[in-house]
């Protein structure tokens, strides 16, 4: 399917997303780099995940084309002394990889989340050293690779070296940059 990235919208998840959600959240190639996501294996699990995890999340949005869910972006703001920063995550359905969707959705999310959390001045994320596509997304969105954290954590049972990427709100690109 041809996708025009300018048709992307971000919105809250809905329980009616369940059939579209399972198409990408049920794909191990999509979930294998997502630390807190296990691969969804049934419609019931998908519905429970949307209700219990996606909807209560402080800032998780469904990436949509024609209002149908093809991925997600999560921005989790810290609290207390960490309220200046938030942790970013994202995923896109495999059939839509390499069409500029994650990069555009992330730029949209960055610009929206600071409206909701005005104290945010920094976004950051950790990326497995081998996840080149995700590193490219972050670079296209202006994030700086700030360092490598060796043997940092387990991801799906394997201990990983990760890069830490960060960006300050003064450095955010506009959506069309
Ligand atoms: C990472 C992910 C979200 C990217 O989504 P996407 O919509 O394909 O991203 P974009 O099209 O905006 O950008 C991908 C870029 O990576 C590049 N890329 C893809 N695979 C690559 C590889 N193996 N090596 C180097 N670059 C690669 C693409 O060419 C593109 O760059 P370009 O626009 O300069 O050509 C998607 O691959 C995904 O869902 N992966 C699984 C979940 C995940 O890893 N999430 C991030 C956790 S930190």
pLDDT at 3: 72
Using the atom order of ligand 1, give the atom closest to the CA of residue 33. Answer: 44
Candidate of 101, 133, 141 to mutate for ligand 1, largest count of ligand atoms within 8 Å of Cβ = 133
Q: How confident is the model at residue 4 (pLDDT cuts 50, 70, 90)?
A: confident
Cα separation, 21 vs 29, in Å, equals: 14
Residue whose CA lies nearest to ligand 1 atom number 31: 136
Cα separation, 133 vs 97, in Å, equals: 9
Q: How confident is the model at residue 78 (pLDDT cuts 50, 70, 90)?
A: very high
pLDDT at 1: 61
CATH number of 5-171: 3.40.630.30
Q: What is the pLDDT of residues 111-160, one digit of tens each?
A: 999 999 999 999 999 999 999 999 999 999 999 999 999 999 999 899 99
Q: Give the containing element (helix H, strand E) for 49.
A: helix 43-49
Candidate of 110, 136, 161 to mutate for ligand 1, largest count of ligand atoms within 8 Å of Cβ = 136
pLDDT at 36: 86
Ligand 1 contact via 70 beta carbon (within 6 Å): no
Q: What is the pLDDT of residues 8-66, one digit of tens each?
A: 999 999 999 999 999 999 999 999 999 889 999 999 999 999 999 999 999 999 999 99
pTM of the complete model: 0.96
Q: At residue 2, does pLDDT exceed 80?
A: no
pLDDT at 124: 98
Q: Cα separations (Å) of 59 from 52, 91, 122?
A: 14, 15, 15
Q: Which residues pair with 144 in a beta bridge?
A: 166
Residues contacting residue 6 through CB under 8 Å, at least 6 positions apart: 104
What are the residue ranges spanned by the domains of the chain? 5-171
pLDDT at 165: 98
pLDDT at 70: 98
pLDDT at 6: 80
Of the candidates 97, 85, 169, 87, the residue with the CA atom closest to the CA atom of residue 136: 97
């Amino acid at each position: 399917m041809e996708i025009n990235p300018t048709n992307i919208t971000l919105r809250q998840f809905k329980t009616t997303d369940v059939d579209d959600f399972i198409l990408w959240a049920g794909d191990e190639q999509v979930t294998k780099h997502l630390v807190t996501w296990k691969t969804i294996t049934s419609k019931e699990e998908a519905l429970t995940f949307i209700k219990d995890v996606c909807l209560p999340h402080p800032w998780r949005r469904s990436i949509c084309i024609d209002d149908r869910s093809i991925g997600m972006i999560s921005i989790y703001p810290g609290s207390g002394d960490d309220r200046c920063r938030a942790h970013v995550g994202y995923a896109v359905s495999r059939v839509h990889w390499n069409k500029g969707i994650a990069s555009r959705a992330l730029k949209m999310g960055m610009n929206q989340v600071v409206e909701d959390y005005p104290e945010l001045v920094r976004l950051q994320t950790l990326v497995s050293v081998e996840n080149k596509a995700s590193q490219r997304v972050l670079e296209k969105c202006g994030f700086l690779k700030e360092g490598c954290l060796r043997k940092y954590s387990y991801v799906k049972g394997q201990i990983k070296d990760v890069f830490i990427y960060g960006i300050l709100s003064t450095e955010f690109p506009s959506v069309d940059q």
